[in-house]
Structure 1
Amino acid sequence: MLPKINDLVYIQVASPNKKEEEKECKSRIADIEDEYYLIEMPIEVGTGRIKRLFVGDELSIYFLTDEGVKNYFNTYVIGFAEDVIHLIRIRKPSEESITKVQRRNFLRVVAELELAVKLKDNTRFVAYTDDVGGGGVSFLCDSTYKLNEGDQMYCWLLLPYKNGSIEHAPFEAEIVRTKKLENGRTRVMLKLITISDMERQKIIRYCFERQFDFRNR
């Protein structure tokens, strides 16, 4: 069972900030395309404030059946559309992915993958990821690089699949947070800001494979 046009949906947005991640927003399905939903701008429950979303934001969504049962799915923001009002395009889930159990972080997995980084000043280096998801990645690097919140960079992520094939996913990302570690290295958390849907699907496919491995250990 999938939500229909005019159905209310309740949203939580993945965020490095726990307080922000715990906030619940509500929206409405405005239109349905073959592979996407168009939803209205979300409104924070309790405050009535508009919640601004960005391309790549990972969303945990639930909707209520006629019997009042919560049905959850995870998705992400693809883009935007203008109708009478501003609409947000999100990936439509498969019916098999609908669950009665919330799985907010299923698109993000622990993984050590090679990541080539190019900064705006043309500084280049190779790092290794700490975790990977459809909306962002975290990586570890030497503290010699000057990386600050809000900085943007170009990245190329190497993705090895279980069938032996290897793909590269290029994207542009923004630093949302940095953290100095006890070993002197820096953990950098990135949010994907420019990436094609095809490249994002490569990352999500890798995450699904990793999750399947974890579940079967």
Structure 2
Amino acid sequence: MPTVNQMLYLRVAASNPEESEKEYKARIADAEGDTLLIETPIHEPTGRLKKLLLGDELSIYYINETGIKHFFDSHVLGFRDDQVRLVKIRKPDPERITKVQRRNFLRVPAELELAVLTENRERFIAVTDDVGGGVSFLCDSKRDIQVGQRLDCWILLNYKNGAVDHAPFASEVVRIVEMGAGRKQVMSKFTTISDSDRQKIIRYCFERQFDFRNR
């Protein structure tokens, strides 16, 4: 497990591919319960600080005393103001720390039922295309959805043990792709989601990844 004073190296999920590939580093200043408190990340090549926002998805690695990189996913939980501002991030589950780097943020193909409410109060049911740090879904091209728009959603999750759960969240549309035949793909990122609901989705994603590895 990463410890206080250890250096973390991280990337931040972003709709801009160039931005999402930038690597920042930040020292762990403190730990409390299930959170780590890190200093503001810095981009070493430019010396610029990275302002993190509540809910930002992070892909992180640290190097242990034997020189091995350990990777995990996390997200911003909040902030604490001491002499400097510290960023609270979710402490990793030991079982989900890996020595293998993922090239993309945790996101898996999934056909799940999604209820959507748009800013103009239009309601409809869609089917997801993938899910992870946000959701992509397919819908009718006539739906009035624009990049930057807020969507209030409710997703139905089906687990391997037969259990069914749901998770409400708000998201922001980051990209729209016309698919032809009167359909379009809407890609969004989470903007408001409770930590417990985020964990439900992460659990679902890891189950799906396990299935893919064993095919």
TM-score (norm 1): 0.92
1:106: Cα distance to partner? 6.1
Residue-by-residue CA offset, 1:152-191 (whole Å, 9 max, x unaligned): 1210001011121211100111111112123332211111
Q: Which residue of the partner structure matches residue 201 of structure 1? A: 199
Of 148, 152, 155, 1:154 maps to 152
Residues matched between the structures, number: 215
1:216: Cα distance to partner? 1.4
Q: Which residue of the partner structure matches residue 41 of structure 1? A: 40
Partner Cα separation in structure 1 for residue 158 and residue 66 of structure 2 = 43
Which letter maps to 1:77?
A: V
Q: Which residue of the partner structure matches residue 59 of structure 1? A: 58
Stretches of structure 1 that go unaligned for 5 or more consecutive residues are none
1:76: Cα distance to partner? 1.9
Q: Which residue of the partner structure matches residue 20 of structure 1? A: 19
1:112: Cα distance to partner? 0.8
1:104: Cα distance to partner? 4.4
Residue-by-residue CA offset, 1:55-83 (whole Å, 9 max, x unaligned): 33221111122343322222222222222
Which structure 2 residues correspond to residues 125-204 of structure 1 after superposition, within 5 A?
125-133=124-132, 135-204=133-202
1:16: Cα distance to partner? 3.2
**Secondary structure at 1:96 match in 2:** helix
TM-score (norm 2): 0.93
Stretches of structure 2 that go unaligned for 5 or more consecutive residues are none
Partner Cα separation in structure 1 for residue 183 and residue 80 of structure 2 = 41
Q: Which residue of the partner structure matches residue 102 of structure 1? A: 101
Partner Cα separation in structure 2 for residue 186 and residue 86 of structure 1 = 42
1:136: Cα distance to partner? 0.8
Which letter maps to 2:138?
A: L
Runs of 4+ in structure 1 deviating by more than 3 angstroms, as ranges, are none
Which letter maps to 2:7?
A: L
1:48: Cα distance to partner? 1.6
Quickly say closer, same or farther: Cα 1:99–1:163, change in 2 above 3 A.
Answer: closer
- Which deviates more, 15-24 or 95-104? 95-104
Partner Cα separation in structure 1 for residue 81 and residue 60 of structure 2 = 22
Q: Which residue of the partner structure matches residue 117 of structure 1? A: 116
- Which deviates more, 45-54 or 146-155? 45-54
Q: Which residue of the partner structure matches residue 29 of structure 2? A: 30
**Secondary structure at 1:202 match in 2:** helix
Partner Cα separation in structure 2 for residue 156 and residue 36 of structure 1 = 27
Partner Cα separation in structure 1 for residue 179 and residue 52 of structure 2 = 30
